[in-house]
Amino acid sequence: MNVLKADFSQYAVELFTIIFMLVYVGLGYIIKGIEWDPKLALANPIVFSFIVGIGVTLLNAMTNYSRYTKVYEQKGLSLYLVVLALTFGFAFIVALILSISFKCLMKWRQKKIEQELDQ
């Protein structure tokens, strides 16, 4: 099984590009004072964190199983499931912290814009 076996530099460039794009778009929303529609599912930090956690866990599952197939066959599937559970937990928590911080920053900026318009 040959899944995700590229050079580290390729992954680093792609990760940097994705992070830069997210920061650029996020700062654009904050500077302009644009709020996400509250009806949108991604506006809810828990839903957003769950989706990110599932995505990261699926990518990690494919990568780990293709790399460590022999280890998981020897030690059993329980080790693999523990690794996936830990991956999901950490990805969920990090995404939750970031999305809550982003939402608070957007609310702060929205209040600041309202104060500027009131003057």
Q: What are the structural domain ranges in the chain? A: 8-118
User: What's the pTM?
Assistant: 0.70
Q: pLDDT 10s per residue in the chain (119 long)?
A: 455 666 767 777 887 888 888 778 877 777 777 776 667 656 688 988 999 999 999 988 888 888 888 888 888 888 888 889 999 999 999 999 988 888 888 888 888 888 888 88
pLDDT at position 25, please? 81
What does each C-alpha distance from 108 to 50, 68, 102 come to in angstroms?
25, 46, 10
